[in-house]
Amino acid sequence: MNRIVKLVCYSLFVCCLAIESYAQQDSVTVNTVVEKTQKLLEAYPVEKVHLHFDKPYYAVGDTLWFKAYLTSNMYNYDLSKVVYVEVMNGKDSLMQTMRIPLTHNVGDGHLVLDQEWYGQGNYRFRAYTKWMVNFDPAYFFNKIVPVGDVLNNALHYTVTFNDQGKGKSARAQAVIQFKDREGKPLSNRKLNWSAQVGWEPIDDGKGQTDAVGNVMININGKDRDRLQKGKLYVSVESGGSAPPLLGTIPLQTALWDADVQFFPEGGDLIAGLSKKVAFKAIGSDGRGLPMKGSVVDQKGTEVAALSDLHKGMGSFTFIPEAGNAYTANVTFENGENRSFPLPPVVEQGISVTVVKSDTSQLQLAIVANDPFFAAHKGKAFYLIAQTNGILCYAAQAALRNNSVVVNLPKDRFPTGIAQLTLFTSSGAPVSERLVFVENIKPLSITISSDKTAYTTKELVKLGIQVANNDTMTVGNYSVAVVDESKVPYEENKETTILSNLLLTSDLKGYVEEPNYYFNQPDDHKREALDVLLLTQGYRRFSYTDILADRYPEVHFFPEQGIEISGVLRLNNGKPVVNGGLLLSIPDRSFRKDTYTDENGRFVFNDLVFTDSSRVTINARGNDNYRNMVINVDPTRYPGIDTTAYRADDVLNIDGVFAPYLTNSRNEYRTSILLEEVEVTASSRPSFSHKDYPAISGLGMADHQISADRLKGCNNLIMCLQTALTGITYDSQSQLFFITRDYNAGGRIPVQFFVNGMAMDVPSLNGIMPAEVEGIEIFLRDELGTVSRMYQNNGVVSIYTTKKQEKGPRMSLSQIEALLPKSNIIDLTPLGYVEERKFYTPKYDTPERRAVNDIRTTVYWNPEVKTTEDGTAQLNFYNADGIGSYRVVVEGVDATGNIGRAIYRYTVKQ
């Protein structure tokens, strides 16, 4: 929105009386707070990633297109030039990692939703740079992308839940309508169902659908929390000799529940002070619940009325009394009545509050109650304000009155969330307030077309003009055009460049429909945004840690490209000094050499290759090379964290995205018919842990690795360090660990099995990589069938090919070919995502126009650059769909200002 300020912009102000006489009494001066804060902010720049997708949801078989934007709050350092994009399934198991190269802080990629690997569900996309990994993963980019499936999924459903339980009893009623892949109701079909948590049963039963495919299932459990963690498995008669149709329905929202939390402005309910209190009501799915009610004291006297303003959030004001306790009695939309306690009242305190905010300044008040004022009269307090890692304001005030008014000019702040913190003279933070400051408007992006209405397959000439404060500007943008009749979506639910970079990227908690606050903002939405920030916390850094000189540990620096490093040693373990190594990438006819340092370490920098490329490193140019061993450093990735954004999961994908899936069914009809008539698809891997008693109790594998992934591998342990998704190798202990637990400090290792037999890590070197048929990775052992016996965390099961019948003896050359060579290794490291352009058809002849075109994304261009006059011209052809076409433009100009615009035009037959 604004120029993301790259220079230090803080100013030191003195409020009220002169402070020189207090400076020597202060254990920590305001200058100390400023200097230490500035040291942190300058040494640890903030990087943020945003992904712009061509659509908000997809179907299996689609190609997903996206553009990555990287921004920072600093100029004077080299930003990362690589962004990682991860895809996780509904269990938060890693499906895929993509490495995106950046040029001028932008890059683009794509993902084919292959029906062999992707099914219907809610997929989480997480994006970050390695520099961001040094800090809290809560600030990574996160987005839930629903994916429907008309290719694999033969059973479609819509479900609603009713909570039939009372008190702590767990009884849920599921009303489900089943349809076939053509959308026809499965009427009068018998079915079996079971509710389970992992492999543990909760309840089961039988039923039959009615004439329109509806069935009612009553699930009885002993524990509400346990039921909500479970899943409902259904098996519906196919209506013929074909096997039954199977479906899985999560029970997370099967039971209704509510919680209300209260957040006094500034931190505490202080006796005797008029206090604004924000509240947030959420349901069992993590989303806001509308409600109304009243606040009463311990005698039952009403002191305030309350009603939510937006998504279960609102605020009220009252004066708490010392020694009193307060309770909120609320009524929810479903008629349920609940009571929730407010935080306790503190007898003395001080807080920072917002008095008013206009276009030019932010007026604050530092307010203390009488007991606190009497105990701290004349003492100094500091007010520090920062936005996006930029220190914008610092003031020192002597407490001469119960209240001090401070006016903050908004032009000192970049647009975004300002964190206002009040300190005592000892450096202890005592009050905090978040407030959104809108200093500079977003980029003004104007979209125009040569017509307002077109016919199908007609040429569209689109014009884009971008201005920053009426000045035309150069910039880099992405443009998506979709057929809105097939891809309907609410703008409030979009994850936009504005809502992400200015709001959610600075907040740890879940924000429901964040673009609501940026979509045609008005006074009501600004008030709702202020209430939202009262319920959130800013935790990019801790002032307590700063003043104690505790700074974040840096393990990763901003990546400037692909790097492969390691150590060259002799067989006896001694490092090889000044040893030569040659790296080659056969697919690119690329060769590069380097030499080791005094510790035997080597590094190959600035490599460029696509994913799945084979990389060879050899040391054969050295004397005594036969006694040398190359050890490559493992690539480290952040652990898989849980995210509150799972609240964005869509339960009824079939119903919510019905227009899109109907179009997808027509688009892929040929594939569906072929599947029904002929079964010639490539076979799934034949290996399975179910064939081995010791590990047959494990659930479904989180990941499978085929033998192709290990082609060219010479040393199994070395190859496993990069091949095992979600698992980290610790070179000191020489053990493997689940990455998410390892990063959190856990040191319980993974247990390996080879053909069903437990094996320690050193013994794996006795397995020839060429003999490996496949690998299964289990990041969880939900029933503890293995972990109870081996005291492990996670399982890796390796399957080798069966022994061949005895044949002729192998020649010496054949034997040598099988033996791993330690002085030459083959790797398949994660490379850059393969470049691919969005296909834009031309319908400039009658023959070309005769082709059927039911695409939903009509145009995608991630590389739109405006010229010096701020303009860009685009040409493309419409598809066959009629109705409204939606154009979305997002991007950033040369000075870091961001913007988004939407435009619609009509297509007629």
CATH code of the domain covering residue 778: 2.170.130.10
Distance CA 485, CA 659 (A): 8
Considering all CA atoms of the chain, what is the largest pairwise distance in Å, rounded to the nearest integer? 99
Mark whether 790 and 858 lie in a shared domain.
no
At residue 27, the pLDDT reads 65
pLDDT digits (tens, 9 = 90+) for 123-149: 999 999 999 999 999 999 999 999 999
Same domain, 224 and 137: no
Confirm if 579 and 534 have CB atoms less than 8 A apart.
no
User: Do residue 122 and residue 190 come from a single domain?
Assistant: no
Is 226 contained in some domain?
A: yes
Rounded Cα gap, residues 351 and 366, in angstroms? 6
E-only strand ranges, 452-561: 453-455, 459-468, 471-472, 475-483
The residue out of 610, 632, 654 marking a domain boundary is 632
- What per-residue confidence (pLDDT) applies to 768? 84
| Domain residue limits at 223 | 166-254
Task: Give yes or no: residues 763 and 697 share one domain.
Answer: yes
What is the SS3 assignment for 720? helix
As a whole number of angstroms, the distance between CA 530 and CA 517 comes to: 10
Structural domain count, the chain? 5
Does residue 557 sit within a domain? no
- Residue the block writes with tokens 């707070």: 33
Per-residue pLDDT of 14-71, as tens digits, reads 333 333 333 334 566 788 888 888 888 888 899 999 999 999 999 999 999 999 999 9
Q: Of 117, 148, 179, which closes a domain?
A: 148
Does 848 fall in a domain?
yes
* CA torsion angle 84 90 92 93 (round to 10): -80
Q: Which stretches of 641-746 are DSSP H helices? A: 653-656, 658-667, 669-677, 716-723, 739-743
Same domain, 109 and 174: no
Share of the chain above pLDDT 90, in %: 61
Query: Which pLDDT band, with edges at 50, 70 and 90, does 6 fall under?
Result: very low
Using the 8-state DSSP alphabet, how is residue 805 labeled? P
Strands 390-398 and 12-15: parallel
Burial of 343 (0-12, 13-18, 19+ CB in 10 A): middle
What DSSP string describes 319-385?
Answer: ---TT--EEEEEEETTS-EEEEEPPPEESS-EEEEEEEE-SSEEEEEEEE-HHHHHHHTT-EEEEEE
Neighbours of 394 (CB within 10 A): 20
CA distance 850 to 172: 53
Range 455-484 average pLDDT: 96
Residue 487: band (very low, low, confident or very high) from pLDDT cuts 50, 70, 90: very high
Q: Has residue 469 been placed in a domain?
A: yes
Helices then strands (H, E): number in the chain? Answer: 15, 55
The type of residue at 89 is: N
Q: Band of the pLDDT at 222, cuts 50, 70, 90?
A: confident
- Residue 528 belongs to a domain: no
* 3-class DSSP assignment, residue 770: helix
pLDDT of residue 483: 97
| Banded pLDDT at 813 (limits 50, 70, 90) | low
What's residue 816's pLDDT? 55
**381 part of a folded domain:** no
For 316-355, how does the pLDDT look when each residue is reduced to its tens digit (9 = 90+)?
999 999 999 999 999 999 999 999 999 999 999 999 999 9
Residues 880 and 792 in one domain: no
pLDDT bucket at 693, cuts 50 / 70 / 90: confident
Distance CA 137, CA 640 (A): 9
Kindly give, in sequence order, each residue whose CB lies less than 8 Å from that of residue 506, ignoring residues fewer than 6 positions away. 139, 388, 416, 417, 538, 540
Asked whether residue 796 falls in the same domain as residue 691, the answer is yes
pTM for this entry: 0.85
Inter-axis angle of helices 658-667 and 669-677, to 10 degrees?
60
Structure token digits, residue 621: 């140019």
- Examine residue 190 and state whether it is found in any structural domain, yes or no: yes
The vertex-114 CA angle with 687 and 56, nearest 5°, equals 135
Same domain, yes or no, for 144 and 174?
no
- CA 194-200-201 angle, to 5 degrees, is 30
CATH code, domain with 869: 2.60.40.1930
Q: DSSP per residue over 227-290, as a string?
A: HHT-EEEEEE--SSSSPPEEEEEE-TTSS--EEEEEEETBSSEETTS-EEEEEEEEETTS-B--
Give the model's pLDDT for residue 425.
Answer: 86
Q: pLDDT tens, 760-801?
A: 898 888 888 888 999 999 988 877 778 878 888 999 999 998
Mean pLDDT score, 601-612: 93
Sheet hosting strand 190-197, strand order edge to edge: 200-208, 190-197, 231-236, 245-250
- pLDDT tens, residue by residue, 638-677: 888 888 888 999 999 999 999 999 999 888 765 554 444 4
For residue 74, pLDDT beyond 90 = no
Q: In degrees, to the nearest 5, what angle opens at C-alpha 241 toward C-alphas 236 and 246?
A: 25
Domain identity same for 86 and 176: no
Domain end (from 216, 233, 254): 254
Provide the β-strand partners of residue 141. 127
| 525-575 pLDDT per residue, tens | 999 999 999 998 766 777 888 888 888 889 999 999 999 999 999 988 899
729: left (phi > 0), else alpha (psi -120 to 50), else beta? beta
Residues in the chain: 909
For residues 241 and 183, state if they share a domain. yes
Contact 882, 456 (CB under 8 A): yes
pLDDT of residue 814: 57
Q: Of the ranges 163-172, 181-190, 888-897, which one carries the lowest mean pLDDT score?
A: 163-172
**In-domain check, residue 103:** yes
Predicted pLDDT at 239: 81
